[in-house]
Amino acid sequence: MSRDQQLKERWELVVKKLSSQFADGEVMDLDAIIYLIGVQELGQLHRDFKKDQKLDLMHIAICKLLTPYGYYELDFVDNDGWPHYKAKAELPFLKAGEQSVLMKEAIVNYFLETEFID
């Protein structure tokens, strides 16, 4: 199986499992999945977030997802439990489709590591 085909199948599995667990079966998009990862990484699952906090959660998720690629590293966790990352390398210029593939690959790897999928 090609790498692209394997990524496609694993991505579809992630979307299917998360959509059934968190969206009553309604298909979740990339941004919604990134938001969920941010909430997971923050570890404050049962609370409401303001709009700016939701953007911060997505930022946390993106940093966490791109850490294995060498773009970010965890710097510290503040007194409220929010992780802060620092950039280690500049992200390359990617077209929108390439960004999407990178994020999907990073998300699939995240859920493989957490054993949500295999």
Read out DSSP for the chain?
Answer: --HHHHHHHHHHHHHHHHHHHHSTTPPP-HHHHHHHHHHHHHT--SS---HHHHHHHHHHHHHHHHGGGTSEEEEEE-TTS-EEEEESSPPPP--HHHHHHHHHHHHHHHHHHTTS--
Note the pLDDT of residue 44: 86
Mean pLDDT of the chain: 93
**Spatial contact of 10 and 117, defined as CB atoms under 8 Å apart:** yes
Any bridge partners for residue 101, and if so which? Answer: none
pLDDT digits (tens, 9 = 90+) for 83-108: 999 999 998 899 989 999 999 999 99
Q: What is the pTM of this model?
A: 0.91
The domain limits of the chain are 3-113
**pLDDT(7) > 80:** yes
Note the pLDDT of residue 47: 85
Residue 76 backbone dihedrals phi, psi, to 5 degrees: -165, 165
Note the pLDDT of residue 25: 77
Which of 48, 57, 54, 64 is CA-nearest to residue 114? 64
Note the pLDDT of residue 118: 85
> Judging by beta carbons within 10 Å of its beta carbon (0-12, 13-18, 19+), is residue 36 exposed, middle or buried?
buried
pLDDT digits (tens, 9 = 90+) for 46-75: 888 999 999 999 999 999 999 999 999 999
Note the pLDDT of residue 28: 96
